[in-house]
């Protein structure tokens, strides 16, 4: 965006909550003197993101609004969705809750959607990265984006140097020429050093996210959203690309090549430990993981010599993509203080507050304006560049989809089903869980 557009968006965002409240009837103009736009009462926010600095961001909101108390409560990730469902059923739900794309299918019905009459789709798209459009419904905005956790590629600098490889690959097809140098095997065929963890599901950290990245890079969004008025439907499109199952089948055939002992790309098998354990032990040249894992990797092995680059891309395509977990703030439509909740959501997702929130959780922001100012830290710079190309998908159930993708890969590896039949079975399974 140019300077004029940036200023225009900033002004719009500063007042959008006011417009939303007028449109919804929550704030009346020309009423009695008792009607006030000042924010009062309490706003409770739930989320799984945790950091000692995150509370300072909410304290700022309290300082700006002296008559308002904002409380952030961290919930365990494993039970977060169930806790939310139970609280909404009991009428004790939070006013705001942090959501991820995998929660859209289940929780959209609980959210107060910001109408496009007051926060236009054009302004939203201008302000946030392309991947944030996952929170755009036909009848309003489901949530306001906060931060994104993109998939990136960590690589072991010592392995590259020791094996005489001076350049880190940028495209997936470059792996085939590198494997003979970066994957080492013992006389009995045991892999002692792996180029990269691809080809299996059970012992590859973030296998689902890697597959999602490959699908999205090929133009397949996995789940499509169709709206009919206010009725929302989601449809799996694993086998509905222009060439039937062609593109998806190509992706899967590429993926499993790396676990085939008779293939020149063979670099991974089921006997190896998890891919993150292989990398932190110094036995894996490249590890595909999330930006949020940086501190974990550093703490596990402080002596590991590594660097970070963007995830590999498909050669010959103009559009770069990586999977990114995009977190957003959603408003409980049954909140007793929707006015303040919407205002806090707007406050935390714009300007300095959005920047401070991103810093507090050590993740890149979703705001185009904030991402335009690149940090000097080389790791953060890569995270910012990866954030810009991040996309996500509407995962109807994280647990169920994980099982579906795991079975999909296993069916192909075991030759239990053809690749096409494996895809069709996964398609049917997605149809079932979407309707849950």
What is the pairing mode between strands 96-99 and 136-137?
unpaired
Cα–Cα distance between 324 and 147 in angstroms, integer? 10
pLDDT at 238: 65
Per-residue pLDDT band for 32 (boundaries 50, 70, 90) equals: very low
Q: How far is CA 337 from CA 83, 89, 92, 324, in A?
A: 20, 18, 13, 31
For residue 389, give the DSSP letter.
T
Mean pLDDT of 306-322: 94
Q: Which domains does the chain have, with CATH numbers?
A: 3-149+325-391 (3.40.190.10), 150-322+396-434 (3.40.190.10)
* pLDDT 10s digits, 90-137: 999 999 999 999 999 899 999 999 999 988 999 999 999 999 999 999
Cα–Cα distance between 319 and 391 in angstroms, integer? 12
pLDDT at 63: 79
* Predicted structure pTM score: 0.89
Residue 219: CB atoms within 10 A of its CB come to 13
Q: Which long-range contacts (CB under 8 A, 24 or more apart) does 57-62 make?
A: 57/348, 57/353, 57/356, 57/357, 57/360, 60/353, 60/356, 61/344, 61/347, 61/348, 61/353
> For residues 384 and 371, is the Cβ–Cβ distance under 8 A?
yes
Residue 292: CB atoms within 10 A of its CB come to 17
* pLDDT 10s digits, 222-253: 887 776 543 445 556 665 544 445 788 999 99
pLDDT at 333: 94
Cα–Cα distance between 353 and 117 in angstroms, integer? 25
pLDDT at 10 > cutoff 90 = no
Cα–Cα distance between 407 and 403 in angstroms, integer? 6
Q: Which residues pair with 323 in a beta bridge?
A: 391
Q: Mean pLDDT across the chain, nearest whole number?
A: 87
């Amino acid at each position: 965006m140019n300077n004029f557009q940036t200023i225009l968006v900033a002004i719009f965002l500063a007042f959008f909550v006011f417009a939303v409240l007028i449109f919804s009837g929550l704030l009346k103009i020309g009423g009695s003197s008792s009607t006030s736009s000042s924010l009062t009462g309490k706003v409770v926010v739930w989320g799984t993101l945790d950091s000692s600095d995150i509370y300072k961001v909410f304290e700022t909101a309290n300082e700006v609004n002296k008559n308002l108390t904002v409380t952030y409560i961290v919930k365990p990730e494993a039970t977060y969705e169930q806790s939310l469902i139970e609280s909404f059923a009991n009428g004790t739900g939070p006013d705001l809750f942090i959501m991820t794309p995998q929660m859209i299918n289940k929780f959209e019905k609980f959210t107060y959607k910001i109408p496009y009459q007051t926060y236009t789709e054009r302004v939203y798209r201008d302000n946030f990265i392309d991947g944030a459009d996952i929170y755009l419904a036909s009848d309003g905005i489901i949530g306001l984006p906060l931060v994104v956790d993109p998939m990136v590629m960590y690589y072991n600098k010592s392995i590259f140097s020791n094996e005489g490889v001076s350049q880190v690959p940028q495209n997936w097809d470059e792996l085939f020429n590198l494997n003979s140098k970066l994957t080492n095997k013992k006389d009995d065929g045991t892999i002692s050093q792996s180029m990269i963890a691809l080809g299996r599901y059970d012992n590859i950290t973030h296998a689902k996210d890697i597959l999602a990245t490959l699908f999205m890079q090929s133009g397949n969004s996995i789940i499509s959203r169709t709206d009919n008025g206010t009725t929302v439907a989601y449809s799996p499109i694993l086998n509905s690309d222009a060439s039937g199952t062609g593109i998806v089948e190509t992706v899967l055939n590429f993926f499993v090549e790396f676990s085939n002992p008779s293939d020149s790309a063979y670099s991974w098998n089921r006997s190896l430990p998890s891919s993150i354990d292989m990398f932190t032990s110094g036995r894996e040249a490249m590890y595909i993981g999330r930006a949020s894992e940086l501190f974990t990797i550093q703490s596990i092995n402080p002596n590991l010599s590594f660097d970070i680059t963007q995830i590999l891309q498909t050669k010959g395509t103009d559009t770069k993509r990586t999977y990114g977990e995009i977190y957003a703030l959603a408003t409980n439509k049954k909140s007793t203080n929707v006015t303040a909740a919407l205002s806090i959501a707007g406050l935390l997702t714009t300007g300095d507050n959005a920047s401070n929130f991103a810093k507090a959780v050590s993740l890149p922001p979703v705001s185009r304006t904030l991402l335009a100012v690149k940090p000097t830290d080389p790791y953060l710079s890569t995270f910012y560049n990866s954030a810009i190309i991040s996309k996500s998908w509407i995962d109807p159930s994280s647990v169920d989809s994980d099982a579906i993708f795991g079975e999909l890969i296993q069916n192909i590896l075991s030759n239990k089903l053809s690749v096409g039949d494996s895809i069709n079975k996964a398609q049917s399974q997605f149809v079932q869980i979407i309707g849950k």
